Amino acid sequence: MESIKKYVAEVIGTFVLVLLGCGTAMLVGCDAKNGGGYILTALAFGLVIVGMAYCVGNISGCHINPAVSLAVLISGGMTVTDFIGYVVSQCLGAIAGAGTLKLIFDLGNVTDMTGGYGANGLAGVNGNAGAGIIVEIVLTFIFVLTILGVTSKNAKHGSFGGLIIGLTLTLVHIFGIGLTGTSVNPARSLGPAILAGGDALSDLWVFIVGPFVGALIAAVVYKCLEPAVKAAPVPVEKAAAPSKNTSTAKPANHNNKKKKK
């Protein structure tokens, strides 16, 4: 039952990420020349993470990203069964989010400024898949490494973890939107690509391979760099001092003296 709750939380979180993140890009556009739309799209993705971290984070950890789940799996934070459940849930949430956007924009006859439901693409790197993969590996590495550091049980970052992670996602979007649209999340790329089809679907493998490789490297690097936790010294109990007979009572005299007549 607990696992089902986690999976539902991941569906909801990824749904919101695609709906609000990609939806913002569709409304305002995210061309690098259009600075306002560019920044708004980056902020939308980051702010969703902040909100969901303090919402579904209490239930599932707010991965809402198969690459993050892979890093957590490698770090020993989840089972293979849960990993599969998380990835399936995240993909379902992303598809549902993209489907909802299509419904809204089609019914409302709203112009999609991205032309493909906010799908990732390689136009910013002139169609070069190699450059696109490098961008996604590096950005995912930075993002996932931050998550592992913030959520490490060996460090205490208080209640600001969700804010730090959200701001980091905003940062990598600011750099990557003009290159690949910034995926760092295979599920986020899958949903819009399925509905957009065409180049978005044919280039989808870049936005699956890149984030997974980046997350894998981040997990391995963090494992190597994370300081070992020193075991707390076991207190040595002092041997109890032998108890002393503190009784002041004198032993009874069993030799009764005869009374004189």
Per-residue pLDDT tens over the stretch 175-200: 999 999 999 999 999 999 999 999 99
Q: What is the pTM of this model?
A: 0.86
Which residue type is seen at 6? K
The pLDDT value given to residue 258: 46
Structure tokens at 88: 């399936």
The pLDDT value given to residue 45: 98
Which residues make Cβ contacts (< 8 Å) with residue 213, sequence separation at least 6?
133, 137, 140
Show the low-confidence residues of the chain (pLDDT under 70): 32-34, 157-158, 229-261
Q: What is the DSSP string of the chain?
A: -HHHHHHHHHHHHHHHIIIIIIHHHHHH---TT-HHHHHHHHHHHHHHHHHHHTTTHHHH----SHHHHHHHHHTTSS-HHHHHHHHHHHHHHHHHHHHHHHHHHHHTT---TTSSTT---SGGGTT-HHHHHHHHHHHHHHHHHHHHHHH-TTS--TT-HHHHHHHHHHHHHHHHTTTT-----HHHHHHHHHHH-HHHHHTTTHHHHHHHHHHHHHHHHHHHHSPPPPPPPPPPPPPPPPPP----PPPP--SPPPPP-
The pLDDT value given to residue 155: 73
Structure tokens at 2: 């607990």
